[in-house]
Structure formats: C-alpha cells, structure tokens
A and B are shown apart, each in its own frame.
Chain A
Amino acid sequence: GENVEQHPSTLSVQEGDSAVIKCTYSDSASNYFPWYKQELGKGPQLIIDIRSNVGEKKDQRIAVTLNKTAKHFSLHITETQPEDSAVYFCAASTTGGFKTIFGAGTRLFVKA
C-alpha cells in the first residue's frame, strides 16, 4: 500500500546549526507534499508545502526540496532556534484527493 518513510526519528542540533529531515514516498501518483510541525500539546500545523511541478521552495529559514524521479523530498531548517524544537511530519497526497499519508515523524531538539 501507500506509505511514506521518514528519517531520522530523532535529531538533535546545536542552536544556529542546520537540520535536515528526509522522506521517501511509494505512490507515484503523489503530487502534493506538505510538512507539519507539532508542538507539545497541540495538533500538527502546516509549515510549508511543495507541489510536484516545483523542485524547491523556500520560506525564510525553511526550505523543501523534491526529487520526483527518486520519490524523495526533504525539509531543511537553517539557523535553528530553540523554538524550532518540535515533532515534524512529512506527508504526501494527490491533487483533488484528500487522503494524506504521513511519515512517522522526526523529533527535533535544538540545544541552546
């Protein structure tokens, strides 16, 4: 069935360093890839997304890249800050489809 693999499961970085989270997906029909951030006691919140006709998208300190051929996509956070500490989920779905397949999450710790 459809699945999304996410790595690493835990990531610890020093404040100011970069963090990279990688995902692979299995359904070749997937063409929409959102990333969610979940803070303690809250639900996941969309932070950035990318569509399959785009290879890279950037929003301030976060960027996403997509390699459709390899079915890989990644989240890059630069100049990490303690408030970036959270669980991050990658996901995949299809345009017009509503079923979203999530990865298992990456717990990011940013040490001050």
Chain B
Amino acid sequence: EAGVTQFPSHSVIEKGQTVTLRCDPISGHDNLYWYRRVMGKEIKFLLHFVKESKQDESGMPNNRFLAERTGGTYSTLKVQPAELEDSGVYFCASSKTLQGKNNEQFFGPGTRLTVL
C-alpha cells in the first residue's frame, strides 16, 4: 500500500511569490490533515478535511493560505503571497474514519518551504 506522498519535497521562493503544495493521501482515507513545523517548534495543526469538506480550519494562519480538496482525493495548499514567516516544513497526513475511535494518522515526508 502506498503511503502519503507530498510534492514538492523542497521549495525555495521569494517573498511575495505564490507556492502550491500537493498531498496525495492513502487511498480510501477520508480524513486529510495539513500541519506545519517551524524550525525547532511544535508540529502545528492547520486544517482537517473529511472527503472534500473542510471540517476544521482553525489552525490556518491567515487568508494568504488556501487549502482545497476537490473530489475528496488529493489536496493542495496554496500560499499567496508568501511571507518570510511562512518558511517551515509542511506535513500532510491522512486517516480512516472509525466511529468513536482515535484513528492513526499517517504522515507524508513533508515539503520544506523556504521563503527568501
């Protein structure tokens, strides 16, 4: 079974530019999450999709970030325009839905974003 994949693995852009990150979850996983880790700090929750619907986007930093999951399969996270503080590693994770249980989240390898 293929794991969660993310593209690109690294991205270096200049302040003010736009970047789009992609995540392909494990097939059959309805739940998809985006997280971000800034150097040396915690892995911070950004948002959670159930299929194509945004279930919780309380962690999104501001309106420069836009996440989509059209069709309920892969997801994209766009940052426009990028700022220096957006630098970090963006992780995607996916999980099944099992009623009344905490479901193991499977993480992708992350996209390292550097904004210069």
Distance between Cα atoms of A91 and B43 in the complex (Å): 9
Tell me, yes or no, whether B70 is within 8 Å of chain A by CB: no
The count of chain A contact residues (Cβ–Cβ below 8 Å) is 28
Inter-chain contact B44/A102, CB cutoff 8 Å: yes
Task: Say yes or no: B102 contacts A99, CB within 8 Å.
Answer: no
In the bound complex, CA of A32 to CA of B108 (Å): 22
Q: Which of A17-45 contact B (CB under 8 A)?
A: 32, 34, 36, 41-45
- Residues in B with CB closer than 8 Å to A91 are 43
Q: Which residue of B lies closest to A93 (CB)?
A: B102
State in angstroms the CA–CA spacing of A101 and B101 once bound together: 17
Interface hits, A63-112 → B, CB 8 Å? 89, 91, 93, 95-96, 98-105
Given A102-B44, A104-B40, A104-B42, residue A43 in contact with residue B109 (CB < 8 A): yes
Q: A4 at the A/B interface (Cβ < 8 Å)?
A: yes
Please state if B109 and A4 are interface contacts (CB–CB under 8 Å).
no
Of the candidates A43, A98, A103, the one whose C-beta lies within 8 Å of that of B4 is A43
Which residues of chain B come closer than 8 Å to A105, judged between CB atoms?
Answer: 40, 42-43
Q: Which residues of A contact B100 (CB under 8 A)?
A: 95-96
**Cβ-based interface call for A46 (8 A):** yes
A61: min CB distance to chain B, Å: 20
What's the Cα separation between A9 and B48 when bound, in Å?
28
Give chain A residues whose Cβ lies under 8 Å from the Cβ of B101.
Answer: 95-96
